[in-house]
Amino acid sequence: MKEIKKIDKFSVARIVGLFYGLVGFLSALFIAGLTVINIIKNKDFAGSTILVTLFNLGAGLLLAVLSSLITALLGWLIGFLSAIVYNIFAARFGGIKIDFTEGEEKNK
């Protein structure tokens, strides 16, 4: 059984930041789509339906990009701090133990 005694802070921060950024981007796109559907459904606009839809989709894409950048930054920070805390706890109490197997074992 192998033990993870220390993890690289920057690699954890990078992966967590990318994951949070993706979730932020997809969430913002989903909310923008629901907003456009709600506006069209309630006819809550003045002017052309196509222009209002395109404007809201553009605003939604801008929101998606901005929110993904913000959530990615927050995710990076959370990942970095989590790795620091893990390294402190692993040094004092022991790290996560993982059992690796070599290839597949065949049942006889």
pTM for this model (two decimals): 0.72
pLDDT at 106: 59
- 98: tokens are 């993982």
Average pLDDT in the 3-24 region? 94
Mean pLDDT of the chain: 85
Q: Could you read off the pLDDT of 60-89 as tens digits, one per residue? A: 778 888 889 999 999 999 999 999 999 999
- Alpha-carbon span 4 to 99, nearest angstrom: 11
